[in-house]
């Protein structure tokens, strides 16, 4: 496909997303199935164009003066990729499946459009209704953080110390030029290509042998902030596909008892193969489907040294990676996540022993899901109190401290927006 044809395809996908309000991955998959002549390189480039346009949807529409799929794509080429108006015009020729030539109005907007007077939701490319909450958390850092949240995310891996070392893995992957992550001691950062996409790490022999997992540096730090130690009894209550379960197993050096479960049994499906590949020791407890299913963790009530709650959330901290999610998020979705978080925190409180702790983690920047959720649990349980994490000074200096926890963010820590709070159980609950 020619560069122009790829632009036309991206506009087509963006129109499908706008009309049907569905995840970008579904729209890209359907486009690929309907256009089987497109090669893998074509599909990858089209996906990058679409994701970049969604990252800058509001600001691109602002400078172009309209929010059509074509306008958003054109504006994103300038804002996200820094292309000059003439360079963009050379791609919009109308020839060989390329989009129609730029109009005089489009050319003018590209050359003169500015975000200087744009309101925060536009300049920061987020839904207007989340700005008050984010402003309360971020203060003067609001706009820089939102702009960082609209950039492309880095590609990080966590070296599996059950099988390898960071230096050894870095040497083995030297052809990919990885560098140590700034904060996570077991992390490596792999450079992205000019198109914003990373290499196919899942086909590397070291990945197949369990030397590393793909995991954002913030997620790696969240597992470490839990304070997990070898010999503990640990429950990963919302284990999902097992990313943090694997990290916990490595930090425990497979010494102790690690139990992984999740309220949605479907999310646990990948964990078994991932544990096998990593050589990680964990017991997986899968609930049965349907209403009235028995609690598979009842026998562990009051026994856990650590309960990790990687809570279901809006994922607002991962909008760099999932930019379509921010435009589909509604207040009702936030309310549903908040209710789920309260329920899973209450369950965690029953599992932890006196003297043990809960590590509450979200990949969200919204205080309603973070400090407010912790405050709610503290209000319901008088046997719990905030705990403190043992942090290296270099890490502590970068974290944003909140009322009950710490917040990572793209601008401040260079990671996804993870929140971590520690709660210690002081005594038996009445």
Q: Where are the domains of the chain?
A: 3-116, 155-213, 217-425
**Tokens standing for residue 400:** 């944003």
**Tokens standing for residue 348:** 């965690």
Fold of 3-116: N-utilizing Substance Protein B Homolog; Chain A (1.10.940)
DSSP state of 141: G
Mark out the alpha helices in 209-269 (DSSP H runs).
Answer: 217-225, 243-251
Least confident span in 224-238, 247-261, 278-292: 278-292
Annotated binding-site residue? 117:
no
Higher pLDDT, 396 or 68: 68
Across residues 301-310, what is the average pLDDT? 97
pLDDT at 4 over 90: yes
Per-residue pLDDT, 156: 98
**Tokens standing for residue 342:** 């309260």
DSSP SS3 for 425: strand
Q: What is the mean pLDDT of the chain?
A: 95
Per-residue pLDDT, 80: 92
Per-residue pLDDT, 282: 97
Give the count of beta carbons closer than 10 Å to the beta carbon of residue 355.
10
Annotated binding-site residue? 310:
yes
Q: CB neighbours of 116 closer than 8 A, spacing ≥ 6?
A: none
Cβ atoms of 229 and 294 within 8 Å: the answer is: no
Across residues 327-343, what is the average pLDDT? 95
Cβ atoms of 200 and 207 within 8 Å: the answer is: no
pLDDT digits (tens, 9 = 90+) for 47-59: 999 999 999 999 9
pLDDT digits (tens, 9 = 90+) for 7-37: 999 999 999 999 988 899 999 999 999 999 9
Per-residue pLDDT, 112: 94
Pairwise CA distance, residues 374 & 378, whole Å: 6
Per-residue pLDDT, 195: 77
DSSP SS3 for 269: coil
Q: Which residue has the tokens 């996804």?
A: 416
Pairwise CA distance, residues 259 & 280, whole Å: 12
**Whole-model pTM over 0.85:** yes
pLDDT digits (tens, 9 = 90+) for 176-209: 999 999 999 999 999 998 778 899 999 999 999 9
Give the active site residue among 85, 149, 306, 363: 363
| Farthest-apart Cα atoms in the chain, separation | 75
Per-residue pLDDT, 196: 80
pLDDT classification of 294: cutoffs 50, 70, 90: confident
pLDDT above 90 covers what percent of the chain?
A: 91
Per-residue pLDDT, 289: 67
**Residue among 274, 160, 252, 275 at smallest CA distance from 206:** 160
| Active-site annotation holds for 363 | yes
Q: CB neighbours of 336 closer than 8 A, spacing ≥ 6?
A: none
Across residues 79-108, what is the average pLDDT? 94
pLDDT classification of 146: cutoffs 50, 70, 90: very high
Per-residue pLDDT, 291: 59
pLDDT at 392 over 90: no
Architecture, CATH, for domain 155-213: 2-Layer Sandwich (3.30)
- Topology agreement, domain 3-116 and domain 155-213: no
C-alpha 23 chain-centroid distance: 15
Class of CATH domain 217-425: alpha beta
């Amino acid at each position: 496909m020619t560069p122009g044809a790829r632009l036309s395809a991206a506009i087509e996908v963006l129109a499908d997303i706008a009309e049907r309000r569905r995840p970008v991955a579904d729209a890209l998959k359907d486009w690929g199935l309907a256009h089987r002549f497109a090669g893998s390189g074509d599909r990858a480039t089209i996906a990058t164009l679409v994701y970049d346009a969604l990252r800058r949807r509001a600001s691109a529409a602002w400078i172009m003066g309209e929010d059509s799929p074509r306008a958003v794509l054109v504006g994103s080429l300038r804002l996200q990729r820094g292309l000059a108006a003439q360079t963009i015009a050379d791609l919009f020729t109308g020839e060989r499946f390329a989009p129609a030539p730029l109009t005089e109005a489009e050319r003018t907007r590209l050359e003169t459009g500015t975000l200087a007077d744009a309101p925060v939701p536009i300049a920061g490319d987020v839904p207007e209704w989340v700005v008050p909450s984010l402003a309360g958390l971020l203060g003067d850092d609001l706009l820089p953080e939102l702009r960082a949240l609209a950039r492309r995310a880095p590609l990080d891996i966590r070296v599996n110390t059950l099988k390898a070392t960071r230096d050894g893995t870095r040497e083995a992957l030297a052809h990919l030029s990885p560098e140590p992550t700034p904060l996570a001691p077991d992390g490596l950062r792999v450079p992205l290509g000019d198109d914003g996409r990373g290499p196919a790490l899942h086909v590397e022999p070291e990945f197949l042998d369990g030397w590393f997992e793909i995991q954002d540096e913030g997620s790696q730090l969240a597992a470490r902030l839990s304070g997990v130690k070898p010999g503990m009894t640990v429950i990963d209550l919302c284990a999902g596909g097992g990313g943090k379960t694997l990290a916990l197993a490595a930090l425990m050096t497979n010494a102790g008892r690690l139990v992984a479960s999740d309220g949605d049994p479907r999310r646990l499906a990948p964990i078994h193969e991932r544990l096998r590949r990593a050589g990680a020791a964990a017991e997986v407890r899968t609930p049965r489907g349907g209403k009235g299913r028995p609690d598979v963790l009842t026998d562990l009530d009051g026994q856990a040294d650590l309960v990790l709650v990687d809570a279901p959330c809006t994922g607002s901290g991962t909008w760099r990676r999932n930019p379509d999610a921010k435009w589909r998020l509604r207040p009702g979705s936030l309310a549903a996540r908040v209710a789920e978080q309260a329920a899973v925190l209450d369950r965690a409180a029953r599992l932890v022993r006196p003297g043990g702790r809960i590590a509450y983690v979200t990949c969200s920047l919204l205080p309603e899901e973070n400090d407010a959720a912790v405050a709610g649990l503290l209000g319901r349980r008088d046997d719990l109190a905030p705990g403190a994490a043992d942090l290296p000074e270099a890490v502590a200096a970068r974290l944003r401290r909140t009322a009950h926890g710490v917040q990572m963010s793209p601008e401040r820590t260079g990671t996804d927006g993870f929140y971590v709070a520690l709660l210690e159980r002081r005594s038996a609950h009445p």
